[in-house]
Amino acid sequence: MSEEFFYFLQQLLNGLTVGSTYALIAIGYTMVYGIIGMINFAHGEVYMIGTYVTFIAITGLTMLGIEYMPLVILCALIIAIVASCSFGWAIERTAYRPLRGTNRLIPLISAIGMSIFLQNYLVQAQGARDIGLPPMITGGWSFGPDSFQASVSYMQLIIFIATAVSMLALTTFISKSKMGRACRAVAQDLQMANLLGINTNRVISTTFVIGAALAALAGVLLGLYYGIANPYIGFIAGLKAFTAAVLGGIGSIPGAMLGGLILGVTESFTAGYFSAEYKDVVAFSLLVLILLFRPTGLLGKPEVEKI
Amino acid sequence: MKKNINHSLFTALITFIVSFPLLGLSLVSVNGSLTIQGADNSTMIMIGVAISIVFIFQLYREKILHMLGMLPTPSLPFKQAYKNSSLEKRTTLKKVFMVGLILCVIIWPFMSSRGAIDLATLVLIYVMLGLGLNIVVGLAGLLDLGYVAFYAVGAYSYALLSEYLGLSFWVALPIGGMLAALFGFLLGFPVLRLRGDYLAIVTLGFGEIIRILLNNFTSVTGGPNGISSIPKPTLFGMEFGRRVKEEGNTLFHEVMGIAYSSSYKVIFLYILAVILVIFTLFVIHRLMRMPVGRAWEALREDEIACRSLGLNRTAIKLSAFTIGAAFAGFAGCFFAARQGFISPESFTFIESAIILAIVVLGGMGSQVGVILAAIAMTVLPELARGFDEYRMLMFGLMMVLMMIWRPQGLAPAQRPHMEIKNDA
């Protein structure tokens, strides 16, 4: 076991960490796309709001004198999810629902407008500067030879576990629960589902809320991992997550997970072996390449057009 | 009523959650550690007022909408019959109007302030960009979210060509356009086979790639510092500065035998922009009536029908993409020449979003609409300079509200068509 191997392992671990959070955000894109066929451009902003609310909640709870760390983080998680879900719900209600059934471009423009609005809402409310949160979960394990040690921090481990648990919960929800079945039905055919007595409006709202909850989870995890937030983190994270969703095949939930992981690992290897500046370039080039050979993404189903 | 109360309470609660934690509690970093500061009383009162407005509105929603007359009432669409006889009269009238408008636009700068002319030049750049993107989005129906990349290619090609090869603006202008078109072609070739939304994300990614490359090729592009002192365009070898900067050039005010004034340069740039816009308008106007233009619109309306009629889908899309990119290249060249300084900062995604907003706001496919929207999008924020900090906030809000109230745009494209008179 040489030094190179451990370096490789380290990049892989870092990539999987970031990739799993991309996957969490990507699910929001892919579910909304699967159901109403629109790109929810403001989804990255929901993640950003999740991070901010986490920071506010953690600081507030600490100021109130609650010192027990797991409790603080759990409360912050719940508060962040509630806030993000409210945003997700409100965005759908105000900016997208009145536009349903129009030209495909119209909701997209509205979504871009919403994204710009939310970014600047945060600039007004919290200022445009970076906000740093002191690290809360420190430490980890290291292994390997003395010359280069690969390490897994506890935070990374928490990210893996939280992602895996939430993915499992989501998959169970979609495949087992009544609402999940309704979601799948609406994704297949919205009008027909409506005719069969499914409250499609409620299903669509639920989709937005689930997506927002996962984005908030990503916000909490990445907020604790990086310890930094500014109003502009949502844009690039959203872009990456959307790339991940397309990479895996938009509309497919396992595809979003796979796409996120692949994207994260690719970025991490580019940064580790080549140059950190070009990781975005490589990520987007990968997207173009995959779409060239598999135009529907890795796990997407080809769309059959009927006349 | 009970349902109404429940719903109102719910929306009021959502309003509270959406506004209070972010507006009411602000994070402040004191000596490296974070603390929370409550906002001042006026913000709290605002939040309270907002919540009560939402609550009351939702509670009496039907009554309020009824009072405002906004509840949709079933009615039959009634349209004025199209009068065929006025067709010729209208075209001559239109020509007279166009000539008058162009004259006004050219005479106007001699009677207004420098700042106004400068702003008008900026509007014209956006008009050009909007018209170019209109081909791609409005006519061909391809969603391009990275249009700014071609704009950057045009701007950087002029800046680099003049810096390294000493080429003048007039030589660089066609080269910049062609380079941008080449980039459009190279990008379009692989991705135009994809479905619309994939195209959107790939173009968005491409825009980011170009920006990152410009930022990191420091040895060539100057990185984040950009390129400065890009020479201004000349008129037949006449410069508009106070002194000659390049060997062999003459000075405009010396040749003309008039006193030096800095406003000549501004007016010259403005007129140059007007000429470029008129050129763009003319070319696109002709293209729209050529088979390829018809094919763009046909492809946007029904792809399957087009393919069954034997149209080459990829070639048509590619032509739209390439021609649109070329106009962005021209606009970029002009932008670099006007600004004299460019950096990757000018070519961010928000710029793409603004251009796209111009196209959609104007009414997709409509040239008059694009011009109106470009004026609105550039002049309104300038007028709102006093509210500078709320500028982008308002911009985003406006985009959403416009889509809800007037999704067809300010001046939707009108095709020549006949309607049957409905007397009933």
With CB atoms and an 8 Å threshold, state whether A105 touches B360: yes
* pLDDT (tens digit per residue) in A47-80: 999 999 999 998 888 888 887 888 888 999 999 9
Quote the CA–CA distance of A97 and A106 in Å, as a whole number: 12
**By the CB < 8 Å criterion, does A164 face chain B?**
no
Residue B369 — very low, low, confident or very high, per pLDDT cuts 50/70/90? Answer: confident
- Say whether both B130 and B64 belong to one domain: no
How many domains is chain B built from?
A: 2
Which pair of structure tokens corresponds to residue B338?
């006007």
Query: For residues B335 and B176, is the Cβ–Cβ distance under 8 A?
Result: no
The average pLDDT across B290-310 equals: 87
- The residues, any chain, with a CB within 8 Å of residue A218's CB and separated by 6 or more, are A21, A24, A25, A47, A50, A237
Residues 47-106 in B contacting A (C-alpha not used; CB under 8 Å): none
Q: Among partner residues A115, A242, A305, which is closest to B201 by beta-carbon distance?
A: A242
- Say whether both B213 and B140 belong to one domain: yes
With CB atoms and an 8 Å threshold, state whether A127 touches B26: yes
From chain B, the residues in CB contact with A115 under 8 A are 396
- Say whether both B251 and B399 belong to one domain: yes
From chain B, the residues in CB contact with A79 under 8 A are 21
pLDDT: which is higher, B116 or B68: B116
Residue B373 lies in a domain: yes
Angle between helices A3-36 and A200-226 (to 10 degrees): 160
From chain A, the residues in CB contact with B399 under 8 A are 109-110, 112-114, 116-117
**Is residue B86 pLDDT above 60, yes or no?**
no
Residue B220 lies in a domain: yes
- Say whether both B163 and B303 belong to one domain: yes
Return the pLDDT at A149: 77
- Say whether both B50 and B191 belong to one domain: no
Residue B359 lies in a domain: yes
- Say whether both B381 and B272 belong to one domain: yes
Cβ pairs A/B, distance under 8 A? 177
How does the average pLDDT of chain A come out, rounded? 87
B358: closest chain A residue by CA: A109
Residues 16-75 in A contacting B (C-alpha not used; CB under 8 Å): 33, 39, 49, 52-53, 55-57, 59-60, 63
B104-108, B376-380, B391-395, B413-417: least confident range? B413-417
**Is residue B241 pLDDT above 50, yes or no?**
yes
DSSP helix/strand/coil, B350? helix
pLDDT: which is higher, B245 or B350: B350
How does the average pLDDT of chain B come out, rounded? 80
- Please name the residue ranges forming H helices in chain A: 3-36, 43-63, 69-91, 105-126, 154-176, 178-188, 190-195, 200-226, 233-248, 253-273, 279-293
Residue B84 lies in a domain: no
**Is residue B87 pLDDT above 60, yes or no?**
no
- Say whether both B284 and B369 belong to one domain: yes
With CB atoms and an 8 Å threshold, state whether B393 touches A121: yes
From chain A, the residues in CB contact with B23 under 8 A are 124-125
pLDDT: which is higher, A15 or A305: A15
Return the pLDDT at B80: 46
ipTM of the predicted structure?
0.83
Q: Among partner residues B21, B213, B389, which is closest to A83 by beta-carbon distance?
A: B21
The average pLDDT across B276-289 equals: 90
Return the pLDDT at B78: 47
Q: What is the distance in angstroms between the Cα of A120 and the nearest Cα belonging to chain B?
A: 5
- Say whether both B195 and B235 belong to one domain: yes
Q: Is B185 exposed, middle or buried (CB count within 10 Å of its CB: 0-12, 13-18, 19+)?
A: middle
* pLDDT (tens digit per residue) in B370-401: 888 888 888 877 776 666 677 778 888 888 88
CATH number at residue B142: 1.10.3470
- Say whether both B130 and B41 belong to one domain: no
Residue A26 — very low, low, confident or very high, per pLDDT cuts 50/70/90? Answer: very high
Residue B281 lies in a domain: yes
Quote the CA–CA distance of B241 and B233 in Å, as a whole number: 11
pTM: 0.84
Residues 136-195 in B contacting A (C-alpha not used; CB under 8 Å): 137, 143, 190-191, 193-195
Tallying the residues shown for chain B, one arrives at 424
* pLDDT (tens digit per residue) in B315-363: 888 999 899 999 999 999 999 988 888 888 888 888 888 898 888 888 8
Return the pLDDT at B79: 47
**Is residue A105 pLDDT above 50, yes or no?**
yes
- Residue from A172, A160, A197 nearest A182 by CA: A197
- Say whether both B181 and B110 belong to one domain: yes
Q: Among partner residues B29, B194, B204, which is closest to A239 by beta-carbon distance?
A: B204
With CB atoms and an 8 Å threshold, state whether B360 touches A56: no
- Say whether both B121 and B14 belong to one domain: no
- Say whether both B295 and B254 belong to one domain: yes
With CB atoms and an 8 Å threshold, state whether B18 touches A83: yes
Quote the CA–CA distance of B370 and B363 in Å, as a whole number: 7
* pLDDT (tens digit per residue) in A215-243: 999 999 999 988 888 888 888 888 889 88
Return the pLDDT at B314: 85
Q: Among partner residues B23, B27, B194, which is closest to A59 by beta-carbon distance?
A: B27
pLDDT: which is higher, B40 or B212: B212
- The residues, any chain, with a CB within 8 Å of residue B184's CB and separated by 6 or more, are B150, B321, B322, B324, B325, B326
Residue B265 lies in a domain: yes
**By the CB < 8 Å criterion, does B113 face chain A?**
no
Domain with B331, as residue range(s), is 98-405
The average pLDDT across A166-178 equals: 91
Residue B51 lies in a domain: yes
CB atoms within 10 A of CB B339: 18
**Is residue B230 pLDDT above 90, yes or no?**
no
**Is residue B207 pLDDT above 50, yes or no?**
yes
Residue B249 — very low, low, confident or very high, per pLDDT cuts 50/70/90? Answer: low
**By the CB < 8 Å criterion, does B9 face chain A?**
no
From chain A, the residues in CB contact with B202 under 8 A are 284, 287-288, 291
Residue B309 lies in a domain: yes
Residue A165 — very low, low, confident or very high, per pLDDT cuts 50/70/90? Answer: very high
* pLDDT (tens digit per residue) in A247-276: 888 888 888 999 999 999 999 988 888 877
